[in-house]
Amino acid sequence: MHSWTDTLRFAFQPVVNLTTGAVAGLEILARPETGDILAEARRDPGLDCRLAVSAVRAAARRETLLPLFVNVFAGTLADLGGLPSLHDAVREAGRLPWEVTIDLCPPYTHVPQRALLEAVATLRGQGFRICADGIGDGDVPLRLLSDLSPGLLKLDASLLARPAVVRSMRTLCDELGALLAVEGVETEGQCAAALAGGAQLAQGELFAPPARLPAADVYVPPRSPAEVAVPRTGPSVREFVRPAALLPATASAGQVRALLTGSPDVSGVLLVDTTGVPVRSVHRSRFLLSMSGRYGHALYADRPAAKLGDPPRTVGVDATAWEVLDVVAVGGRDRTSDDVAVVDEYGRCVGAVRLADLVRALAETRVEEAAGLNPLTRLPGSDAITGEVDRRIAAGRAFALSWLDVDHFKQVNDGAGFAAGDELIRAVGRALQGAATEGARVGHIGGDDFLVLADPDGLDPLAAALLDTDWSAGGRPVTLSLATVLCTPGSVTDHRQAAACLAPLKKAAKALHGASWVLGRAGVPGHEALRGTPPTPAPAGCGVAAERDVQGV
């Protein structure tokens, strides 16, 4: 009688880091030659657990150093209260629990939620990482998703046709401190959509199909500069984490040498204690140079590798790329190429960051920012503002979008000269930057038009700084007009709708005399005129002329 193990094979599919193009881990997929063992495992928690154990052992036989993603049904965890046999299999394979991510798979219907959460807490306490799989194609309740607090969310590629949903999931991930992945990516268009939605990881046929041997090389479409979206505070280190080559702190120099010579893509080895905390960092080139010297192998092969290592450089998972560069800058120049270990809240190593990845991404960001700056004011254009508007809408944040311009600017240029007009625009831009509160974004969209995105409570200081100033160009007094639309959560769906709400407010502000400010609310008719004087009614028979005088240019 044949066992189910006789006809079962496993395939490996890479999970790709979309920023670095590196393989972040391998998902282990059961591939039965006959029958539907996965359907049986969905009904039989014991069988599902044995499949997970077999998956880890299959990976060990392939001697892969990459982190592993192991699929387990949510019902299995709830029924078994954790997976002690999986923990034993990981230890027997010489792997550490935090090198293994448990992909929780639907269905969740009828799964006891308290039992599931307790089992997840047990696995997390042992060091395993948790991923919520099948989002968008499964039945996971949003409340349960929040309670699970996974370190990774995997979206089905079908959600890429709904960009707002993907952006919302990225916002949720940011709140949970999780990464966002998209699975089932088959085309370059889907890859671009995943990047636009904020996904950091992806997997699918586009990058590499499931294979019996773990893939070392994957195809990643080149990113255009427009796809490089980086927050002003700098990209998160999570975007650049690569799998780290880990060995116990007691490893000999011979063991490290065997790992490095067998894995040419490994730039260094981190020696960790029994809890996974890095204690020494072994740099590839310096280590192999010591070992290759005269009598090097004889002197060091059986000695602890830690004697040839250095104190590790570490950053937390919430650090920014700029903070990593600060860490690299400390110490001798001979260590600038060392990998930086990324650690979780317990100090355990979750991966490493290479300096080259950071420098490349930051350079691309600077080039893209420079290309989008207005040459007169060196302020970003409308794309930077509208992109941030969409992010705030997806995050459910209230915001104020304001438009500002110079009244009768053509007359300023015609009367005072274009040089005086340019200087006025530069001065207004500097004043806007100086008056903007923390977190506000200022953009120059061309000519004398500016956009400001700010929190609602930062409006009064901004308006006072701009409208209470005596502006002039070439000795001619000048006034400014300001229009603001307040957008509460749910009042607008995207930046286009916010701009449409702002347009009539701009017209109303321009209809007032002197420095003016008009305030409206998205979805609410009417507006308030907070600054400015209403036009004087025209004498009878002079309506057209009076209207032209009020409108100006």
d(CA 427, CA 231): 26
Give the pLDDT of residue 549.
38
Give the pLDDT of residue 102.
96
Give the pLDDT of residue 447.
83
Q: Tokens 């407010």 map to which residue?
A: 505
Give the pLDDT of residue 46.
93
Other residues' Cβ atoms within 10 Å of the Cβ of residue 35: 11
Low-confidence ranges of the chain (pLDDT < 70): 1-6, 63, 215-216, 223-234, 293-301, 331-334, 361-375, 536-553
Structural element, H or E, at residue 77: helix 74-80
Q: Which residues of 458-490 are buried (b: 16+ CB within 10 A; e: fewer)?
A: bbeebbeebbeeebebeeeebbbbbbbbbbeee
d(CA 16, CA 20): 8
Max CA pair span of the chain: 107
Please list the alpha-helical segments (H only) found in 219-317: 253-262, 284-292, 296-300
Q: Judging by DSSP bridges, how do beta strands 441-446 and 449-454 pair with one another?
A: antiparallel
Instruction: Give the single-character DSSP code of 501.
Output: H
d(CA 284, CA 4): 43
Question: By C-alpha distance, which of 193, 194, 196, 217 is closest to 207?
Answer: 217
Instruction: For residue 121, give the 3-state DSSP assignment.
Output: helix
Contacts for 49-55: CB closer than 8 Å, 24+ residues apart: 49/76, 49/80, 49/83, 49/85, 49/86, 50/85, 51/8, 52/83, 52/86, 53/85, 53/86, 53/89, 54/5, 54/8, 54/10, 55/10, 55/28, 55/30
Quick: pLDDT tens for 282-320.
998 888 887 776 655 556 667 888 888 889 989 888 788
Give the pLDDT of residue 86.
92
Give the pLDDT of residue 372.
53
Torsion sign (Cα): 5, 6, 8, 10: positive
Could you tell me which residues come within 8 angstroms of residue 329 by beta carbon, excluding any fewer than 6 positions away? none
Find out whether 530 and 519 touch, Cβ atoms under 8 Å.
yes
Per DSSP, the residues of 425-448 read: HHHHHHHHHHHPPTT-EEEEEETT
